[in-house]
């Protein structure tokens, strides 16, 4: 199993290029990020080339977080802003050599206009991404942490994939969010495997390192390997030790050892 460091939460005391280097030194196989736009794309590309790590994904800009925005792409009154941010994300990803763009829906009333807007913007995103050999991801996010988020379950994500009907669109399955919203992770992932573009992990509760809490991740990683999942597992968690990523990295070697020996507890 290959693991990716999400640099939105890990090694955040460093610049993004230095965080890439730290992830390489820590033994990760890849990286991903949230919002890299303040980093000159040439600097990020240089760090990726230097380390040989692929960067799997970035997010579209979420909007005004202070005003409660958490994505723009399902907001009918922000359609132009959403498409500008999709274009910016696709252009940045292509220039940096990043594989995919996660298109953030945002908080909505859950109505038909919001759904139609999200589908239309995803079609726009898929066309833009395909032109640059990129993928597009959508992520169901739990409504405990983000009340009102437009997309919060995998059934809804499947309906969106059907509506958009584009080969470049896949689901980002975050085990943290989906354990909160629906549980039954192994069965859900196995059923959805052809539609999944990336999987992420974190502990529940607390969203810390994945070696604690209610999910037996070593067992789940073994089950995923047996199911044929050959993608990366994104470590998108918040370090428990006051943001000290290095202090909590023991799980990485432990998970690899458990998978190698077949330990499932």
16, 31, 84, 90: which is closest to 59 by C-alpha? 90
Give me the residue label for tokens 């610049």. Answer: 15
91, 128, 7, 116: which is closest to 56 by C-alpha? 7
Whether 235 and 22 have beta carbons less than 8 Å apart is answered as no
Whether 188 and 182 have beta carbons less than 8 Å apart is answered as yes
**Concatenated DSSP letters of 183-230:** --HHHHHHHHGGGEEEEEE--TTTS--TTSSS--HHHHHHHHHHHT--
Taken in order 78, 81, 84, 88, the sign of the CA dihedral is negative
Tell me which residues are annotated as active site.
139, 236
Taken in order 196, 202, 203, 204, the sign of the CA dihedral is negative
């Amino acid at each position: 199993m290959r693991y990716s460091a999400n640099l939105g939460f890990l090694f955040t005391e460093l610049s993004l290029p230095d965080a890439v280097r730290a992830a390489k030194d820590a033994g990760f196989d890849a990286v991903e990020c949230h919002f890299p736009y303040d980093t000159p794309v040439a600097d990020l590309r240089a760090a990726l080339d230097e380390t040989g790590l692929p960067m799997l994904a970035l997010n579209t800009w979420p909007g005004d977080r202070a005003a409660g925005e958490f994505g723009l792409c399902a907001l009918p009154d922000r359609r132009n802003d959403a498409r500008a941010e999709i274009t910016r994300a696709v252009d940045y990803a292509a220039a940096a050599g990043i594989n995919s763009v996660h298109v953030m829906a945002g908080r909505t009333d859950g109505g038909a206009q919001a759904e139609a807007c999200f589908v239309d913007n995803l079609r726009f995103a898929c066309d833009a991404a395909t032109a640059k050999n990129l993928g597009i991801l959508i992520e169901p996010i739990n409504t405990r942490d983000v009340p009102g988020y437009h997309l919060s379950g995998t059934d809804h994500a499947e309906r969106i994939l059907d509506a958009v009907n584009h080969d470049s669109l896949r689901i980002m399955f975050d085990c943290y969010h989906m354990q909160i919203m629906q549980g039954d992770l192994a069965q859900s992932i196995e059923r959805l495997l052809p539609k999944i573009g990336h999987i992420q992990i974190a502990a529940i509760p607390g969203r810390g390192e994945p070696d604690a809490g209610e999910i037996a991740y070593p067992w789940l990683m073994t089950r995923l390997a047996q199911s044929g999942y050959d993608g990366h597992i994104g470590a998108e968690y918040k370090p428990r030790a006051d943001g000290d990523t290095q202090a909590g990295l023991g799980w990485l070697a432990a998970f690899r050892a458990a998978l190698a020996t077949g330990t499932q507890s």
